[in-house]
Amino acid sequence: MTSFGYTLMTEQRGPRDLVADAVAAERAGFDFEVMSDHYFPWLDEMGHAPYAWSVLGAVATATERVGLMTYVTCPIMRYHPAVVAQKAATVALLSSGRFTLGLGSGENLNEHVVGRGWPTADVRQEMLDEAVAIIRELLAGGYVTYEGKHYRVDSAKLWDRPEDGVPLALAVSGAQSVNRYAPVADAMVAVEPLPDLVEGWDRAAGADLPKIGQQPISWGPDTDAAVERAHSLFRWFAGGWKVNAELPGTAGFAAATQFVRKEDVASAIACGPDVSAHVEAVRPFVEAGFTHVALVEVGGEMQPDFLEFARTELLPALREEYGEAKAPAIAGRAR
């Protein structure tokens, strides 16, 4: 059984629209909602990048049922991990415990703005290790003092936090990151539907934990327009995350994807009005063993019509094909 979520894509929507979309997605019947946390969009054409945490606060109070999650927050440069812990605790309280903190090692695109340079991948992983330890300890309560290779914390304490803590979901891409983070996380985040990731995660975690994936689609009544929109706004994904993490700005993404063709994008993203094509788009995640799949509708202006389509056609079709999850919220192991 698979839970189906909706992505609040901050790169293609302004803050007030994102809150309205979150409410509409809950009414449409989505099980959970995830939100990106960027300082920049990948491409200028996307046009937006509001502060995710302000929007999350509004979404937490405007919705009642859906699970909420960052997909994902980087706690290593732009945000100090002690501040991330405070933000997560506050959103968890505002949402009455519906929030999961998704964490990853970030992208140069967003982290370069603080002017500290972009560390190598191995250093970023070291920084994330320390950040997770600090966040976990602060969310557990009490005063925290920490001195590590990359961070210092001096007598920090979260005065408002949920008694049960906040689940942490860690982004992984291969065996090394799986073995590194499965033992310390409550859920897995991945953007590729790889069965080896799922099997390795459960083995390293010693438990069957939530696995959250994400699938873009470009729904719309005109297939050609849907392909055009997907190419204009989502061709950035073609380089893969190892490349995407290193590019410093939108100009870099535009240059790196200048030769990506419309047919290349259409082969990776279901485009047009066919419900069955969008149902099939998530099958690799379901068959790989992911418990949660968040859909991304390409195009900010498409969100209201897409959410109505999801309510009346897409979500019923997804649940008929893959079953309806009995426990759709993102919940990790008790700690």
- Nearest CA-CA partner of 37 in 101, 98, 92, 97: 101
Element (H, E) at 154: strand 152-156
Element (H, E) at 3: strand 3-8
C-alpha–C-alpha distance, residues 282 and 289, integer Å: 11
Phi then psi dihedrals of residue 295, to 5 deg: -90, 145
C-alpha–C-alpha distance, residues 149 and 239, integer Å: 32
Q: Is the peptide bond before 198 cis (omega within 30 degrees of 0)?
A: no
Q: Which residues are catalytic?
A: 38, 107
CB atoms within 10 A of CB 183: 11
Collapsing DSSP to helix, strand or coil, 2 comes out as strand
**Residues forming beta bridges with residue 40, ordered by sequence position:** none
C-alpha–C-alpha distance, residues 326 and 91, integer Å: 25
Question: Which single residue is written with the structure tokens 């706690």?
Answer: 75
Collapsing DSSP to helix, strand or coil, 319 comes out as helix
